[in-house]
Structure 1
Amino acid sequence: MPSELLHLPIVVPAVLVPVDVVALVLVLLTVFAPRGRSKDAAAPRRRWNRGLPAVLVRIAAMAVGSGIGLVAVWWFGDVQDLFGVSFTPVTRMWVAFLGAAVLLFLVVLVQGGNGRRIVGLGAALAVALTAGLGINVDFGAYRTIGEAVTPNPYPMGSLGHEHAARPAARVVDAATWTAPKGMPRHGRTVSVRIPATVSHFHARPAVVWLPPAAQVADPPTLPVLVALSGQPGQPADMFQTGRLGALLDHYAAAHHGIAPIVVSPDQLGAPGHNPMCVDSRRLGRSATYVMTDTVRWIHQHLDVASGSAAWGIGGFSQGATCAMQFSSAYPEVFGTTLAISSELAPANGDLQHTIEVGFAGSRKAYVRATPEALLAAHTPYHDHLTVFGYGEDDAPYKASTLALRAAADRAGITTRLIVSPGSAHDWNTVRYVLGRGLPAVIAHLGLPVDGVRR
């Protein structure tokens, strides 16, 4: 695919409006266009009289198709909860439009007319494209074609320095740090393989972001943030879709190349896999992979400070739930948490299925693994910060977030809450919360932030 095409934006009106117009015109042609010409003067009236029932059938088919689409969203999204989110009215509308176009095409196939069949197929495809683009805008996922077709754009590579990491007790003093000549101007994002030495978890490559200061020959000791994607998802999501690297690049540019190192391991194993960040015989040892294999790898390969004051963890949706589980259970490792749209508890399907596949059928084990129970078990916490966030229109995750914040407050954790206006369980929320929550996270990790105290 040509590189110019990969960079084509798909969220701007200059692209969306023409696609919408083409889809609308094709649908109208499919429904109302005359069947053909005749030399008989009375033929148009006879054709209209004969065609009117056919037009009404096509309109009725669109209405039925819309209903089928809405029922499908309700059944699979609300009742079965296959996607773990409550879809917005905008997404439901696009699915209804798609259902209408598909059923319209099926009716046209039966009614006949090769020309109308071709136009009907074009209409169905155009509406499918329009719906996909509309849902993408609603979720705030992909900005360009390249992002949509390239799940992980970050190449496999080394971390850039061959010396062994030197874990230190404290983060570099930013006031005395001087950027060396030749230091890169931007952070570097690279995919790396974190071996599952202890867990034997089948993880995909992790993604690491190194600030400019971490790329020099003698890098300073920096804090680290472990970032976890949602599910379905992959480690690159927090950088490609969440734009985490771009936000930290902006911070580093204002602070002589210093910023937290970010490591995004794969806690899922596959986009549709959800091991719930626990150790399970059926789902794998995801918890051990993150808390043992990944934590050890970070200490061995990166110049990061030791101690919970310099370690943070964050994530979105399932990744936020994992972040809450890990930070609550291991306060000696993580002193800072960023939870964007966290679930109240780990979940893989309904409660019965969750307990069966993740906890060997033990309800007690399941309850002990919930963030609320972990917070209560490890209270009081000392010098811990959790930044919570959710979308204003995301009622289920608003409820879970507020409940978790109350539990964290009871446990002695300092909390902050960020609400993304006009967004729901989507990447628009992620970017909003990251943009406004990172300063507090960075400050609590020991780096300077104007107007924010540790």
Structure 2
Amino acid sequence: MGPFLSSVQVIGGPLPVVLWVLAGLALVALAVRPLPRGRRVRWALVVVSALVLGALVGLLVCWVVGDVLNVFDVALSPVSRGWVAAAFGGLAVAVASLVRSRPARRAGAVGAALLFVLVGAVGVNADFGQYPTLASIVGASSFPDLPRALLDAERTSTAAAGAGVAGEPAKGVVGAVTIPATVSHFAARQALVYLPPAALVPNPPALPVLVMLSGQPGSPENLFLAGHIDAELDAYARQHDGLAPIIVAPDQLSAPDVNPMCVDSAIGNSATYLTVDVPAWIRANLHVDDGPGGWGIGGFSQGGTCSIQLGAAHPDLFGAILDISGELEPKVGSPAHTTAVGFGGDSAAYEAAKPLAILSAHTPYAATTAVFGAGSLDTKYTPWIATVEGAAAAAGMHTTLLSSPGTAHDWYTVRSIFSQALPVLARAWGLAS
């Protein structure tokens, strides 16, 4: 069942098109009723009024939920608002069709209503790029376990990382691994590892490693299924003799709806897992560069916030940082709630965990490369990213600020920023001149 679910595309492919066509036909079927001529005009006015009023209600819901209550902590784009408005418009027509109708037409109206909701959800999902397949929606794994033969830090070579390796495969490999939480006891889900072509040959060179973190809600798979970072890495490797960084994508959340904020707390010892358990596993199983000059940490949204928190707090471990659409501070709801659940009510500890405070406490940074980026349409996170980048530069980091044209707080931004950032990070690691 897993391979089938992974093969059904929810973004792109025939399924969304089929749903859109069916929704259009359903709307036409609801709009057409066998009525006397005098009542046809009245019914046409009802349909048009229902469409308009339903759409306005949908826009109002977007404003209340997205702007006033800020339920998602992300501004809804005009495209997403349009899909919600369209779904509500269709729902209003379906409700109007229930009045004074025969049972068969009422049943059809209920079915159409469900279809309109589904189409709206698919449209919003396409705008965010969150769930590309049915497997990603139901949480089914899309990646096999990484072969044990590839997990051997002793498969060493005397070749320099920048030298390339003859005869390497054309593409890298992504596989699932279990990273034990030996010290942290954090309830992490399986991680994903990307090995570039140069890491797949006998006696591979030591390569840089980038720890990448998903957003929240999310999982490590989002980085590959929605962010397509493996495709970007393969493209880079093709132009650089098979060389690219190794990617380790651990689970910093424990569950999609949990946000441990990359600190050690009652929610979970996420920070220790990411800075002790994960690095220990990497050194024991992968042939990677030694020292912070060949290590980096990055992520998107909540994962981006984690990357600047941990990267700034541990320059002895991570010499590079990639913050894509991160926040100004870790949070779970209001500041009061965040302080209570994540810091035991200690407001000073919460303040000290914010990226700007961490940067100030560890300045100056002598050899840290930090790349920041956000979507040009992301009006909320773009100013935050600029603020953190400015603070990082003032603290001595070698910073780069990027923008993803025409995207918002979504996985299209991740792919764009990651593609732009990869050459910058590679130069810092010595993979490219």
Q: CA deviation at 1:369?
A: 0.4
In structure 1, distance between residues paired with 2:53 and 2:331: 34
Q: CA deviation at 1:161?
A: 4.0
Q: CA deviation at 1:78?
A: 2.3
Q: CA deviation at 1:441?
A: 1.0
Which structure 1 residue ranges, 5 or more long, are not aligned?
A: 36-43
Q: Does residue 251 of structure 2 align to residue 263 of structure 1? A: no
Residue 162 of structure 2 corresponds to 174
Q: In the TM superposition, what whole-angstrom CA distance separates every residue of 1:69-119 from its partner, at most 9, and x where no partner exists? A: 333323332233232211011111211222232343334334322232233
Residue 81 of structure 2 corresponds to 92
Residue 351 of structure 1 corresponds to 335
TM-score in terms of structure 2 length: 0.91
Query: Which segment is superposed worse, 71-80 or 422-431?
Result: 71-80
Residue 388 of structure 2 corresponds to 404
In structure 1, distance between residues paired with 2:49 and 2:346: 51
2:184 alignment partner, one of 199, 203, 206: 199
The SS at the match of 1:298 is: helix
Q: Which amino acid aligns with 1:132?
A: A
Residue 138 of structure 1 corresponds to 127
Structure 1 segment 34-433 matched on structure 2, within 5 A: 34-35=34-35, 44-45=36-37, 48-49=38-39, 56-145=45-134, 148=137, 151-161=140-150, 163-165=152-154, 172-175=160-163, 177-179=164-166, 181=167, 183-281=168-266, 283-433=267-417
Determine if contact 1:171/1:305 at 8 Å carries over to the other structure: no
Determine if contact 1:386/1:414 at 8 Å carries over to the other structure: yes
* Residues 1:248 and 1:171: Cα distance change in structure 2 (over 3 Å): farther
Q: CA deviation at 1:158?
A: 3.6
The SS at the match of 1:339 is: strand
In structure 2, distance between residues paired with 1:415 and 1:431: 19
Q: CA deviation at 1:22?
A: 3.4
TM-score in terms of structure 1 length: 0.87
Determine if contact 2:165/2:198 at 8 Å carries over to the other structure: no
Query: Which segment is superposed worse, 319-328 or 184-193?
Result: 184-193
In structure 1, distance between residues paired with 2:151 and 2:111: 56
The SS at the match of 2:127 is: helix
In structure 1, distance between residues paired with 2:249 and 2:256: 14
In structure 2, distance between residues paired with 1:254 and 1:364: 48
Q: CA deviation at 1:292?
A: 1.0
In structure 2, distance between residues paired with 1:141 and 1:89: 17
CA RMSD of aligned residues (A): 2.7
* Residues 1:352 and 1:422: Cα distance change in structure 2 (over 3 Å): same
* Residues 1:270 and 1:12: Cα distance change in structure 2 (over 3 Å): closer
Q: CA deviation at 1:340?
A: 0.7
In structure 2, distance between residues paired with 1:314 and 1:358: 22
In structure 2, distance between residues paired with 1:178 and 1:419: 33
Q: What percentage of residue pairs aligned between the two structures are identical?
A: 43
Query: Which segment is superposed worse, 359-368 or 23-32?
Result: 23-32
Q: In the TM superposition, what whole-angstrom CA distance separates every residue of 1:101-151 from its partner, at most 9, and x where no partner exists? A: 234333433432223223323432332333233223311345555555565
* Residues 1:366 and 1:2: Cα distance change in structure 2 (over 3 Å): closer
Q: Which protein is bigger by CA-based radius of gyration?
A: 1
In structure 2, distance between residues paired with 1:163 and 1:431: 30
* Residues 1:257 and 1:320: Cα distance change in structure 2 (over 3 Å): same
